[in-house]
Structure 1
Amino acid sequence: MSLQKLALPLTLSILCFGCQARSLGMRLSYGHSSLGQSEPIAAPVSVPILTTSLKAAIEEVRVMRIKIERDDGINPKEYKEDLIDLENIVDKVYGDPKTVASVKSVVDGHQLALKFMQCDRAGGYNEMLQCRDNVLKKLFVKYPEFAAAVQDAIEGEELSYISAGLDRDAVLQAIWLEIAKDTDNLLVAVNMEPTLAANPSQQ
């Protein structure tokens, strides 16, 4: 199932233990937003001049967005390898400071998403939850809207770990939604069409 198809019921699978009467799914769906359909973005007043290295980095960011939207998703091993390649490109990038910062911000989001996935191998159950919570704290700083949605989802719950009240896959979907929005903002800012998820298999 593609991420676009999962967008509406994005967090219907979020588990808030003890919440019998609340539908938490809609709380992280951000008003029915989807990875393939971000909010309309205004065209930039001026388009920055892109260096060759910056163009290459932006294209790799676009490709990464396509991969997380594929019907079969992306596994941690592939994600890690792709991110290493992307980081090597971004480390050498130069050009318009604002655009470079936007590219690096998107990459930072992917790095946090991967770290959240890798918490599955943290050892015991408590270690896994502690690992996820550590990543969530960084995500809360980076994505305030995501933070507000999570806090709303677990409101009233007494949890030793925030992640204990959340479904792992639903959280990843929400993180990728934030990354997709940042990617679309970047692409529009450099006068490139946002990558839509309507037909990811055709990309």
Structure 2
Amino acid sequence: MTLRERWQAFTPRERGLILVAVAIALVVVVRSLPIQGLGLLSASSEDERWLEARRIRNYQKILSRRDAIARQSQELKARYQADQQRLIAGATPTQVAAELQGTISGMASAAGLNVLSSQILREEQVGPFRRVGVRLTLSGNLEGIAALLTSIETGSYDLAVTFLEINRKLGASRRPVSTRYPRPPTRTQPPPNVAPLTATLEVKTFLREPL
């Protein structure tokens, strides 16, 4: 039996009920399709919003790191410039070395030492920086040498003593003292002579290097 014959076999009432059922089924199917599509669109929108929020957070982290790096860079630059001010100014290594030579000689004279000789040392390359120095031979007592070292250490310039040698001056002698009949010292008796010393030291400093 064909579909047409089966359809004609139904009574008019049965045919009406079948048509109503088919119509209701079509309405349900048609209404369900837009709802499912809207659900897909809603899920897609949620994913996009989540991804966008994550991108914004990543950008904020990058910006905060960049600001922190910029602040740190400024602090390091300020410290470097402050350290540069503690170096002797000069357009050339020769000028800086000559200024260093005069500075150390003045400190030695203020400490009561005599400058026997002074020599400018060869320029050195220490990594990306350049360094100059002077070599001086001085004469005097131990207190004067200590005073000079203190002046170099606590002065306004950033200097370093890289070599120091102290010897007794040639030809110096002490007052002979008898050990057989020692006499107690009196207030009017002058103190024994102290042999003078010679000191050879090298003092170096770096050249100013702009950033």
Greater RCO structure (CA 8 Å; 6+ sep): 1
Q: More strand by proportion, 1 or 2?
A: 2
TM norm structure 2: 0.22
TM norm structure 1: 0.23
The structure that has the greater radius of gyration is 2
